[in-house]
Chains A and B, each alone.
Chain A
Amino acid sequence: MIHHEKSRFIKAEMKQSRYAHQFAKSLNINPGPLAACSEALAKQLLQPDNLDPLCLLSTLQETRNAYVE
C-alpha cells in the first residue's frame, strides 16, 4: 500500500536525510541546510492533519536563506 511505502520513506528521511544529501552533493552544494529542511518537513509530515503553512514556509525560507548568504 502507498501508505506503508510513504510512511517508511518519511521515517527513513527523518533519521538520515539520505536523499537530501545525495541531491545536494549532485549540485555540489553544502548538504547541511537541505538535510535540515528535509528532516523538518518529514517531521511535520508525520502529522499531516496539523500541517501549518507558516511552519512550512518558515522551514523553506530558512533553507533558502542559508544558501543565499
Chain B
Amino acid sequence: MLINSFLAIIDLHGAGILHTNISEPNMLVERADNAQGILVGFELAILEQRSSRDDESRRGSTAGSQNDAAGTDGSRESSPSDAMYRAASNAITPHVAFLALDRCSDRPPVHRFRHELESFVWTFFFLLSCFRNGRRIVNPVVEKWYTVHGI
C-alpha cells in the first residue's frame, strides 16, 4: 500500500513538485479489501527548483554548466531566485519526526527530492514502530523523535 504513496512522490518529482511534508499523517490507507495508499496534505508543496546539472542530464548532455554555482544540494545561493526558493522551502517546519536528518539543523539546506525519499523511509519505520494491527501505540523510542529535536 505504501508503494502507491512512494510512486506519487516520484511522479510529483517528475512534474517538478516537491511535497515537502512526507509524514505518517499525510499517507492514508483506504479501508477496503484492495486498499490503496493515498498521499495527501499538499499545503506545503513547492515547485522544485532544478539545478542546471539536473537540466543538463535531462537533456542527455554530460557537459557541466558554469551556472551550476548552487550545486545539486543547494548549499549555496547563487541568485535572488535561489534565495526566494530557500525561504519558501523553509517557511514552515513540517512534522519534525519525519524530516530528513540534514534538514534538522539551524540552517537547513534547500529541500530537495532526496529529502522526500528520506522522509518516506522515516515514515515507513514510524509505521512499523507505532502501529500494531492497525492501531496506534506509544513507542517511547520513537516518541523521542518528536521531542528531541535539533532545530
Contact = CB atoms under 8 A, between A and B. Distances in A.
The 8 A-B residue pairs with the shortest CB-CB distance, nearest first, are A26-B132, A26-B133, A19-B128, A51-B117, A19-B129, A23-B128, A5-B144, A48-B118
Contacts of B125: 9-10, 13, 19, 38, 41-42
Per DSSP, are chain A's interface residues mostly helix, strand or loop, or mixed?
helix
A36 interface: no
Contacts of A22: 128, 132
Contact of B149 (A2, A38, A64): A2
Contacts of A1: 148-150
B75 to A, nearest CB: 12
Nearest to A44: B121
Contact of B118 (A20, A23, A34, A45): A45
B88 interface: no
Contacts of A60: 2-3, 6
Interface residues of B, number: 34
Contacts of B124: 38, 41
Interface size class of A (residues with CB under 8 A): 20 to 34
Nearest to B151: A2
Nearest to A42: B125
B69 to A, nearest CB: 20
B114 A49 contact: yes
Contacts of B7: 57
Given A9-B142, A22-B132, A41 B150 contact: no
A15 B122 CA distance: 17
Contacts of A10: 125
